[in-house]
Structure 1
Amino acid sequence: MRRSSTPRRRALLIGLGALFAALGVTQVAAGRRAPDQTLLLQAPVAVVESVVSHSPTVSADGRFVVYAGEGGAGQGADRQGAIWLKDHSDNSLVDLTPPVAGIRPGNSLWPVISGDGCTVTVITEMALDLFRDDDLGGRWDVYRLLLPHCGGEVADWELVSASRGSGFDAAAGDDVSSLYPPAVSADGNQVAYTHQFDVASPDLLGVTVVDLTVALGDPGRALSVPGTPNAAPDSIYRYRGLRQPAMSADGTVVAFTSDAVSEAVANPVADVTTAGVAEWGTGLEQGGFAVSNVFLWDRAAVDAASVGTAAFTGTVVRVSAPIGDETGDSASPALSGDGRFVAFESTATNLVSGATLPPCGSVCPPQVYLYDRTDGSLRLASREPGDPTLPPVGADAGATQPSLNYSGDELLFVSRSSNLFPTRSLGVGDAADGDIVLALPALGTLDRVSVLADGFTPAPAANSYPHMSAAGRVVVFDTLAGSVYGSAQVGRQVAIVDYAPELVLADLDVGTVSVGFPGPEWFLVLSNTGSASFVPATAEVDNADFLISGGSCLEQPTVAVAPGATCTVNLMLMPSVAGSIEGTLTISEQGFNAFSVSTHLVGRGGEPSLAPTPAGAHGGDVLVGVASEPMSFTVENVAFNSVRLDTLEITGANPDDFQLSLDECSSDRLTASSSCAIQVVFTPTASGRRSAQVVMQTRDGGYATVLISGDAFFDPKLAADVTVLAPGRLGLTGTGFAPNADVTVSWADGSGGSLTTVTDAVGGLSAQMVVRATDRSGLRTIVAQTADGQVASAEVLVVPPAPGRGPNSPTWPNR
């Protein structure tokens, strides 16, 4: 019997516990019961497009999705390379590359929508600018389109990859590489793309950044990235060149892949070959390719007055630096929108000290790494889930295709590894396909995005090219497994998954406060325990007696509250009248698919007499049914006269989860400045965030509250027959699950049968699963899991059937 990896819910709650212990005020007001705040982890399910499609990207707010696919009805279903725009708010579709008289049909690839959702940039072999594109031979160029909802027209494409001349004399470059997508800033005005290094070296690549706010032919419009050598290589090694650009939202940070020594200082000058000191790199063996690395160029650090002149300088930083000698290639950079984080894939085995990586064959399995520009740190992101401070264990089959959200705290990648989740997906699809994995590197958690309708059974590992919106609310990818999502279409299809934040903001009772005077400042904590970020924009209270005095939710508006993170709203009550006072606090987002969360505020105008210290406490992270250490409080009489207390009462959302283990205050008389003591024990009855409060009321009607909370988790365990003879029945017993919960039992490798059972009133299960004669034999893992993330597993030896043993045998199955 063995325990599975730590459930994601527990990791999130542990991460929040320390802050709650300090602030202790995201609780429920006296006498009111808040909704159950248990985090449900059943994943949302993908919806696939009805046409053959691939290579999707999504706008920052998640409203617009653009992808490449086949032509629409009436245009010939076999027309390849159409670019489609989907409005996610109403599911409408627009073909952005309809056939146009006079323009030779061709393929269009790698559509990228800008963060503001107003432009789409593509690589195409179509001559979309008849004035500047001669449309001769096999060639590709980069074009940009201002979308109709932002004032543009479908046919009004703008040439990006102009190589020479100005105005109407400018001509298309005809030299763009169709292997890699362009990179685009959030406003669509900065575009980086990969192209031929020069005419004499058509297979060698370079990267150019174009500023579309600068007129064609003017200095500063097109710049080669610093670190570009000034001539093609003449070496014993082979080279791919500079390629795969990525760009921050404001366009000031550019990452790229290069097999040159590109961290050298260079002097790029617009519209001419770059002059500088960068040299081509070396390889691991003669005749092989030179080692590629990922580099970062911070354009904001450059003196703007020198752009386009010989005085222009910039330093490029290498982010894939090994510990010691070169051992492999790094490539495919992805940038967070704020430019802080760079994710990339690498076959190098010495980038992170202490990492355990899978054995290498002729090539080592690539892993995904995350570089933080603020401190230069590098971590292994494609790792087994667990404590992020411990030495990581890498994905056993590798990982590729990283993609980041705006703030870099959410990371997508593709992997077929078997050690990232308790269950495995069916290994089908193309070579670059796999599971779509959502990682929260700071917490060490992983979610599988590509799941079936039950929210946790893995879909076939036939998925690739993941991207997400700025807050991680919309994830897009393409898949060959559209049939499991209910589509009858054959071929690749774009899949769209909608995530939502899970917000915890409980009610607050501030007790009695003097009329006309501001009371103590309370810190209400908004926590996000979901799988997508929340971006607070406003905080409002509908009763002017409650004053919002600050908090991080307001001090940094529009900054995302990442999964597992928090922000605070500071509140005070200044009663205008005596008696009960109520209000509602609402914290809201703005824009498409905006979320909001509200909480009920309660207080009383009067003469305060009791002051508890501390005002709140957190009982820690506790197994359901187990008691925590006591939380101690002192209650002082701050009035000038003696007061008598009534019996203390525990109220709120989860009063049954907290017990008074020491009570020196109930029915006691406190003289002025004297105090009494209480202790509270947290014994959770269910998992998740649990909260309540101790209400202390005096005989004259004044009262105060002590706010108490804790986080609870289940620790399920599964036991199975050590050996089962196929065909036969496998006996299973489990403990520690939630009571009366549906549990699905299946083989970890995805093959064989499965069953669903229900736990008893104490969270136990007992079941038998049929093992068929055709089931895979050998040492296997059986997994039991619930929709909200409770997982346990056990190992079983499946013995193949003896000759002549089958359905007609008197011993089948265990007759």
Structure 2
Amino acid sequence: MQAIWTSRRRAIVTAVVAVALGGSQGASAARVTTPVTPGRPTVPVVDASSTLPVMGQHPTVSADGRWVAFEGTPQDGDARTTTTYLQDREAGTVEELTPMVDGVPSGNTVWPVISGDGCTVTVITELPYDLFRDDNEGSRWDVYRTVLPHCDGDGDWELVSAKGAGFETAAGDDTDPRYPVAVSAEGSVVAYTTRFGGADADVASVELVDLSVPLGQAGRTRAVAGTPITPPTGTFRYHGVREPAMSSDGRFVAFTSDASSALAVPEWGTGPQPGGYAYSNVYVWDRENVDRNTSVRRVSVPAGPDSGDSYSAALSGDGSTVAFVSTATNLVPGATLPACNPNCVPQVYLLALEGGSIRLGSRLPGDPTQPPVGVDAAATQPVLDVTGAELVYVTRATNLFPSRASGVGSAADGDIVRTVPALATVERVSTAADGLPVAAANSHPHLSANGRVVVFDTLAGSAWGSTVAGRQVVAVTTAPSLELADLDMGTVAVTFPGPEWVLNVTNNGPSSFVPAGVAIDQPDFLVSGGTCVEQAGTPVPPGGTCTVTLMFMPMVEGDQEATLTVAEAGVEMEGPDRTVIAGQEVGEDGTVSGDAPDPFGSVAITATLTGFGGDPTMAPSPAGAYSRPSLVGGRAEPMPFTIYNVAFNPVRVKSVRIQGTAADDFEVVDDECTGAKVDAGESCQLSVAFTPTAAGRRSAIVRVTTDDGAYTTMIVSGDGYYEPRVATSATTIVAGSRVSVTGTGYAPGATITVAWADGSGRGVTAVTDDTGTFTVELVVLPSARPGARSLVASAGEGQVAVTQVLVVAAGRSAGPASPSWPGRP
């Protein structure tokens, strides 16, 4: 039983009348408490224990986001090219895991992979740590694993890529260092790419190793299902079976293969041209399925004949979703893709393995139910969170965002992009503190389980305050934006349970929220259920909700107040009589067992609950309402309510008031209740209009009070949004001159950044006035690229406007002596 702390009287609340409460979320009324710094803090991976910088690449991160393993440059005096480092993001320390050891020949180490539990690191290395079995000959690349000291490891490295049995067991010396290993969350199952026995050196296969089986014993190592028995022959060329990926429990293994690996007896495939390479496709092996006819399935299935290659698979931690890259143009019927010229642009695709159809992951934002439009430049290197709700990939696409990052770095580099496929939302992860994109020189992203931490390597480390020259690792942390409304439960009879209310915890992303505990610090307010309780530990993805069902049973007359907390594992919550830890095991008798979960990166949200012990006289229908979205400053269609007299005598309505921190965002209209006498069993009507004063979810409480002081309440909420516009004083601008830029429709007091969409030139900032308007002068440099250009005025998500201008090159008269030259009066 999880730590869901409610009240000593929860057991007696059984049969009550439920009052449905829809759309009862509210950002303005919520308070988020979290150890994670709000916003988007970034943590460059540098050696915090010394002044020496650590250059690095190819990072992986533990499920909780605390531990980061990466490949880096050795310290001074070490002639090797690469070694492995481990960062503890909580302690702020970095240590080298594969230093030179006396008596062990020198060698490089690449592609470190940390297990989801943060306890093991598995690497591909030339270092022969097992001197008895590794003869340090041949290609020398082998797979080794270590258990880390914080998980009671002794620092020794265990040989993974072994061949043979018994006393004949020896290092394979044939691991392919081009592809990283795949590791289960506990680090006990490893898959790696090696050379296909008896084939050319370039033909690969994937070996699966169960480290729970002792070294040299049968059942420890096997080829993945779907591997052909014999080496390839014939008129086509082959890359083989390669690029493994694995679910957290090790059950599902995805891989790339140019064989027909789904056949009961796999055979090598064919391609478009004899003498060329066979088509590559992505397959998923279910290790628990013993039927060889169905245990391996091809996921990159086109709607027609093969038209391209599919590769670079990624699996969600729960094994429900696979992502992959493909140049095929017929995987998603109706999708609009860039023309092949002559090569087709790689796109990222997704497939839910249970009954799903292939979706385009690298699509433009918009309505997810409409046919998708693909990005106009290669999308590669996909990674997924634990549930497959979030997808991160790399691209240099120019049609995803209004502003474009400068294009530097290698061919594998680009923007780090995060998308929520179910919502078709897209955001750029690789942005600086001012919201502008950093150089598109980023690659090799990896996600924590809840998607909160994204690690990647970059050449643009200076944008995050690093002084390291060269490639380095950055961790970008973004807490989810949560909403939970305050709730006033009105007047309830003393010692009697009131109606049941439902509050929604809404996650606006960009990462998942994993509720582990719910608590109320006052015993007269009761948690009676809800998915936040009953499905504790299940991630709530961006755009999703979980519910908390509440009741009020006052034991005394008068006003009462409590705090409701919904928290992730490890967060301390105030219960009715003591502090409890979210996620800690609690018995039916209230006794706590086991260690408290690590709270690293955990977040919580609180709301205020109020009520009055007395004789109720009125009851609303509905108990809450959600308005359609409205432009800030506008008014949405009113929400109607009927207020019933539930007493045995007539009552008079004294007042109808709106309360809460967003009270100014709602207005009572068509009020037939205030001052009205309502007979027993009769009702009156009123309506509430949503008039947002700011963007985002807004909520408030409508309180209807009678002459005798009893009252009832309704929750109202709605989403406000801005619709900014921007224009220039001239639509044709001469390079080397100045132009006035004016924007309207932004939030008051917002900092606006005006810059060229392609990332070139010099930008400028301004602050909007009380009406959300700004005017600023932009210098167009003499070297500005001529032609049609886009200017972007941005104040962050949801407040971006673009205008088109024509920049013309300066004539002969445009120079330092020209009146239009920047800096001249």
Q: TM > 0.5 between the two?
A: yes
* One-letter identity of the residue aligned with 2:533: L
| In 2: Cα distance, 1:426 partner to 1:480 partner | 12
| In 2: Cα distance, 1:34 partner to 1:53 partner | 40
CA deviation profile, 1:395-440 (whole Å, cap 9, x unmatched)? 1112100011111111111111111111111100011011111111
Match of residue 423, structure 1, among 403, 411, 416? 403
Residue 47 of structure 1 pairs with residue 25 of structure 2: no
* One-letter identity of the residue aligned with 2:477: D
What count of residue pairs does the alignment treat as equivalent?
767
Say if 1:46 and 1:782 are closer, same or farther in 2 by CA, change over 3 A.
farther
Deviation of 1:46 (Å):
4.9
Correspondence 1:327-476 to 2 at 5 A: 327-454=307-434, 456-476=435-455
| In 2: Cα distance, 1:657 partner to 1:593 partner | 33
| In 1: Cα distance, 2:359 partner to 2:336 partner | 12
Q: 1:48, 1:482 within 8 Å by CA — same for their partners in 2?
A: no
| In 2: Cα distance, 1:483 partner to 1:684 partner | 39
In the other structure, the counterpart of 2:278 is 290
Match of residue 646, structure 2, among 638, 649, 653? 638
Say if 1:261 and 1:200 are closer, same or farther in 2 by CA, change over 3 A.
closer
* One-letter identity of the residue aligned with 1:164: G
Deviation of 1:24 (Å):
3.4
| In 2: Cα distance, 1:779 partner to 1:21 partner | 55
Corresponding residue SS for 2:338: coil
| In 2: Cα distance, 1:451 partner to 1:33 partner | 29
| In 2: Cα distance, 1:436 partner to 1:279 partner | 37
Deviation of 1:316 (Å):
0.8
Match of residue 490, structure 1, among 454, 460, 469? 469
Deviation of 1:640 (Å):
0.7
In the other structure, the counterpart of 1:233 is 232
In the other structure, the counterpart of 1:299 is 287
Say if 1:474 and 1:145 are closer, same or farther in 2 by CA, change over 3 A.
same
Residue 178 of structure 1 pairs with residue 177 of structure 2: yes
Match of residue 573, structure 1, among 540, 552, 566? 552
Range 406-415 or range 487-496, more displaced: 487-496
Say if 1:340 and 1:45 are closer, same or farther in 2 by CA, change over 3 A.
same
In the other structure, the counterpart of 1:658 is 666
* One-letter identity of the residue aligned with 1:393: V
| In 2: Cα distance, 1:302 partner to 1:576 partner | 60
CA deviation profile, 1:631-676 (whole Å, cap 9, x unmatched)? 0000000111111110211111211111111111101111100100
| In 1: Cα distance, 2:655 partner to 2:487 partner | 21
Match of residue 790, structure 2, among 756, 781, 786? 781
* One-letter identity of the residue aligned with 2:257: S
| In 2: Cα distance, 1:204 partner to 1:36 partner | 53
Residue 670 of structure 1 pairs with residue 678 of structure 2: yes
Residue 165 of structure 1 pairs with residue 144 of structure 2: no
Deviation of 1:262 (Å):
0.8
Deviation of 1:519 (Å):
1.0
| In 1: Cα distance, 2:820 partner to 2:132 partner | 81
Corresponding residue SS for 2:288: helix
Correspondence 1:124-203 to 2 at 5 A: 124-154=125-155, 156-166=156-166, 168-203=167-202
Deviation of 1:220 (Å):
2.4
Deviation of 1:301 (Å):
2.3
Q: 2:116, 2:185 within 8 Å by CA — same for their partners in 1?
A: yes
Residue 537 of structure 1 pairs with residue 516 of structure 2: yes
Corresponding residue SS for 2:789: strand
In the other structure, the counterpart of 2:8 is none
Deviation of 1:810 (Å):
3.8
Deviation of 1:337 (Å):
0.1
Corresponding residue SS for 1:139: coil
In the other structure, the counterpart of 1:209 is 208
Say if 1:97 and 1:48 are closer, same or farther in 2 by CA, change over 3 A.
closer
CA deviation profile, 1:734-755 (whole Å, cap 9, x unmatched)? 2211123211110000111211
| In 2: Cα distance, 1:376 partner to 1:692 partner | 40
In the other structure, the counterpart of 1:3 is none
Correspondence 1:648-797 to 2 at 5 A: 648-720=656-728, 721-797=730-806
| In 2: Cα distance, 1:327 partner to 1:553 partner | 45
In the other structure, the counterpart of 1:517 is 496
* One-letter identity of the residue aligned with 1:762: T
Deviation of 1:35 (Å):
6.0
In the other structure, the counterpart of 1:502 is 481
In the other structure, the counterpart of 2:304 is 324
Corresponding residue SS for 1:645: strand
Q: 1:21, 1:617 within 8 Å by CA — same for their partners in 2?
A: no
Deviation of 1:788 (Å):
4.6
Deviation of 1:811 (Å):
4.7
Say if 1:465 and 1:27 are closer, same or farther in 2 by CA, change over 3 A.
closer
CA deviation profile, 1:83-109 (whole Å, cap 9, x unmatched)? 111111011122111211111010111
Deviation of 1:318 (Å):
0.7
CA deviation profile, 1:710-731 (whole Å, cap 9, x unmatched)? 1000001112222112222223
Corresponding residue SS for 2:201: strand
* One-letter identity of the residue aligned with 2:776: A
| In 1: Cα distance, 2:549 partner to 2:529 partner | 5
Corresponding residue SS for 1:756: strand
Range 715-724 or range 342-351, more displaced: 715-724
| In 2: Cα distance, 1:107 partner to 1:626 partner | 63
In the other structure, the counterpart of 2:7 is none
In the other structure, the counterpart of 2:50 is none
Residue 60 of structure 1 pairs with residue 48 of structure 2: no
CA deviation profile, 1:349-385 (whole Å, cap 9, x unmatched)? 1111111111222321211111111223111111111
Q: 2:24, 2:626 within 8 Å by CA — same for their partners in 1?
A: no
Residue 116 of structure 1 pairs with residue 113 of structure 2: no
| In 1: Cα distance, 2:682 partner to 2:644 partner | 6
Corresponding residue SS for 2:563: strand
In the other structure, the counterpart of 2:584 is none
Deviation of 1:164 (Å):
0.6
In the other structure, the counterpart of 1:256 is 255
Say if 1:84 and 1:34 are closer, same or farther in 2 by CA, change over 3 A.
closer
CA deviation profile, 1:777-812 (whole Å, cap 9, x unmatched)? 100000000035410001101011112421212454
* One-letter identity of the residue aligned with 1:445: T
| In 1: Cα distance, 2:21 partner to 2:194 partner | 55
Corresponding residue SS for 1:483: helix
| In 2: Cα distance, 1:344 partner to 1:35 partner | 39
| In 1: Cα distance, 2:360 partner to 2:666 partner | 40
Corresponding residue SS for 1:301: coil
* One-letter identity of the residue aligned with 2:227: T
State the percentage of identical aligned residues.
Answer: 54
Deviation of 1:48 (Å):
4.1
Q: 1:41, 1:789 within 8 Å by CA — same for their partners in 2?
A: no
Say if 1:64 and 1:46 are closer, same or farther in 2 by CA, change over 3 A.
closer
Deviation of 1:300 (Å):
2.1
CA deviation profile, 1:455-514 (whole Å, cap 9, x unmatched)? x11111111100011011211101122233333322211111111122212211100111
**TM-score for the superposition, normalised by structure 1:** 0.91
**TM-score for the superposition, normalised by structure 2:** 0.90
| In 2: Cα distance, 1:444 partner to 1:524 partner | 26
* One-letter identity of the residue aligned with 2:424: G
In the other structure, the counterpart of 1:91 is 92
Say if 1:404 and 1:559 are closer, same or farther in 2 by CA, change over 3 A.
same
Q: 2:488, 2:701 within 8 Å by CA — same for their partners in 1?
A: no
Deviation of 1:41 (Å):
10
Deviation of 1:756 (Å):
0.9
In the other structure, the counterpart of 1:308 is none
Q: 2:348, 2:360 within 8 Å by CA — same for their partners in 1?
A: yes
